[in-house]
Structure 1
C-alpha cells in the first residue's frame, strides 16, 4: 500500500473507534466509515463488514482484509480476550500504524540519501577539478614557464 493509503487506513481505524464509542454495532460502524472512505480503504472495510455480517470473528475478518489491518485484528482479539471495549485499542492500533509508516518513510529517506551520494560525487568532483584545480595548475605552469623563459 502507498503511504497515503496506509495513513488513510489509520484515519479510518480512528473513525471506526469513534463510531463504536457512539454505540454503533461494529458492522454498522464499518459501513458508515466505508461510505466516507476511498478506493482500497472502502473495499477493505466493506470486505470486513460483509464478513462480520456473515458471523466471522472480528479478529479473523480483519486478518483477511490485508496486512495494514493486522493491528486492528490484534486489537479486537485483545479486546475479546480481556473483555475490554475495543475503542482505546483501536486508537492505539491506528497510532501504531502511523508510527510504523513514519519509520518506514525515514528509512526510505536514509536509503535515498546514501544512493544520491555516489552520483553527486561523480558529477561534482570532475566539475570541481575542471573549474578550480585546472585553472590554478595552468596559472602556475604559465608563471613557471614565464620565469624560465
Structure 2
C-alpha cells in the first residue's frame, strides 16, 4: 500500500488492511473450529443415544441410563450425562438437570424425551431409539456431504493444472492455424 498510495498515509492504510485481513482470518478460523467441535459433539451424540435406548430397554430409569452411558462415553457428552445423573441423584428437578445436557448441539429432542420420562415415568425407549436413529441418519448425511465437498475441492487443483495445458496444447494451435489462414486470404 505504501507504494500505491505513498508516504505515511500508505503505511497507515497498509497496516489497517493487514490488521483487517488478520482479524478476518482469525474469525474464520474460530468459526471453522466451532463448527468442527459441534460436528464432533453431534457425532458423539448418536452412539450415546443408542446406548441410552439400550439401557432404558434393559429396564434402567433415566438417571441410571444417564449414569451408565456417561461412564462409558468419553468427551463432553459423557461428562454432561454424568453431571445429569449426579444432579438427579441429589434430587434436582429432571427439567433442570436435563436442560444443561440439551445445550449440546443436536441434543434438544433427546433431552425432552428423557426429561418427560423422568417427570412422568413414561417409558422413553421408543422415543430415544427413534431419536438415536435420526441422529445416526444426520451423522451419515453430514459425512456424505463432507465427502462430496472434499471431492469438489480435490478437482480445483486438477482444473488449475489441466485447463491451461488444454488451452495451450489443444485450443491455441487451432486458433493460431485459423488466424494464419485468415491472414493469408486477406
Matched residues in 1 for 2:179 and 2:147: separation? Answer: 45
Distance 1:36 1:77, change over 3 A: closer
TM-score, with length taken from structure 1 = 0.70
1:39 pairs with 2:75:
yes
Taking CA–CA contacts closer than 8 Å with sequence separation of 6 or more, which of the two structures ends up with the larger relative contact order?
1
Gaps of 5+ in 1: none
Q: Could you tell me whether the CA contact under 8 Å between 1:5 and 1:40 is conserved in 2?
A: yes
Matched residues in 2 for 1:23 and 1:83: separation? Answer: 12
How many residues align? The count is 147
3-state secondary structure, aligned to 2:92: coil
Alpha carbon RMSD of aligned pairs, Å? Answer: 3.6
Shift in Å, 1:46: 1.2
Distance 1:60 1:67, change over 3 A: farther
Matched residues in 2 for 1:136 and 1:25: separation? Answer: 77
Identify which of 89, 94, 109 aligns with 1:58. 94
Distance 1:31 1:86, change over 3 A: same
- Match in the other structure for 1:11: 47
TM-score, with length taken from structure 2 = 0.59
Q: Could you tell me whether the CA contact under 8 Å between 2:53 and 2:128 is conserved in 1?
A: yes
